[in-house]
Amino acid sequence: MFHSPFVFRDIYNVLMKKLFCFAFLFFSVFAYAGYPEGFQAFNEGDYETAFKEYSIEAENGNSYAQADLGDMYYHGVGVDQDYEKALKWFELAAKQSHSRAQYNLGVLHENGFGTKQDMTKALYWWCLASGQGHYGADFNLAMAYYNGKGVPKDLEIAAHKFKKIAIVGIPGAQYRLGLMNLNGDGIPKNLSEAKKWLYQAYKNMDPDLAEKAFALLEKNNLLDNTIKLF
């Protein structure tokens, strides 16, 4: 399915800009003493300091530091890439209900990075993250039902999950939902809905996705005004 906690460029564009605007202020008040310094150092590209601060706070049980340390090990940012250490820190943070760590832990189990491949565990962690509103987990669960991976294939459930996050502006889900409306996969065929969601996906910042959405619109003659968006 997906091989990186940061493959969702569309999700990143929607959420992370807001996160970085508010996270430093939030954690300055609520997190352990050294976490804000590590967070700021990471954003400034000082990975050595970030790693040092994150490590101290992670050992002290700070789930945010544990999750960020896991990210550094996963991507090899400031440290040698090490999936087993990433797994360790994601798991500690995930058990403290850190939704991003839960999502990332699911990715590791799905792909067998640092651990034995286990789709059941991947789905377990994604369900927990989804319950906390993590859009990446929602998307992966939708894809699991769409492809029948780890669960029985169910296009109706997949369409429902795609729509849940398409509505809040996730282009990948908008594209899939448009495609399903276009083909009548799991839902009644609806060209008006297909056009609406494909246009939404087309307008996102991902060039590859925009190109695919435009190609579908063009191929199915949905670029004219005969089908209204609403």
Domains of the chain: 1-118 (1.25.40.10)
Candidates 143, 133, 146; CA nearest to 99 is 133
Instruction: Report the pLDDT value the prediction gives residue 205, as an integer from 0 to 100.
Output: 72
Read out DSSP for 46-107?
Answer: -HHHHHHHHHHHHHTT-HHHHHHHHHHHHHTSSS---HHHHHHHHHHHHTTT-HHHHHHHHH
Mean pLDDT over each residue of the chain, to the nearest integer: 86
Interval 9-56: pLDDT, tens: 344 444 443 343 334 334 443 445 689 999 999 999 999 999 999 999
The long-range contacts involving 178-183, CB below 8 angstroms and separated by at least 24 positions, are 178/213, 178/216, 179/216, 180/155, 182/216, 182/220
Question: What is the C-alpha radius of gyration for the chain, rounded to an integer number of angstroms?
Answer: 19
Give the residue-averaged pLDDT of 2-13: 42
Instruction: Report the pLDDT value the prediction gives residue 209, as an integer from 0 to 100.
Output: 87
Distance separating alpha carbons of residues 79 and 73, to the nearest angstrom: 6
Distance separating alpha carbons of residues 27 and 210, to the nearest angstrom: 36
Interval 95-142: pLDDT, tens: 999 999 999 999 999 999 999 999 999 999 999 999 999 999 999 999
Interval 114-126: pLDDT, tens: 999 999 999 999 9
Distance separating alpha carbons of residues 88 and 71, to the nearest angstrom: 11
| Alpha helix ranges (H) inside the chain | 9-30, 35-43, 47-59, 63-75, 83-94, 99-111, 119-131, 135-147, 155-166, 171-183, 191-202, 207-219
Does residue 163 register a pLDDT over 50? yes
Give the residue-averaged pLDDT of 191-207: 90
Token look-up 């890439």 returns 81
pTM of the model: 0.81
Instruction: Report the pLDDT value the prediction gives residue 19, as an integer from 0 to 100.
Output: 43
Instruction: Report the pLDDT value the prediction gives residue 204, as an integer from 0 to 100.
Output: 84
Instruction: Report the pLDDT value the prediction gives residue 225, as an integer from 0 to 100.
Output: 53
Give the residue-averaged pLDDT of 171-184: 95
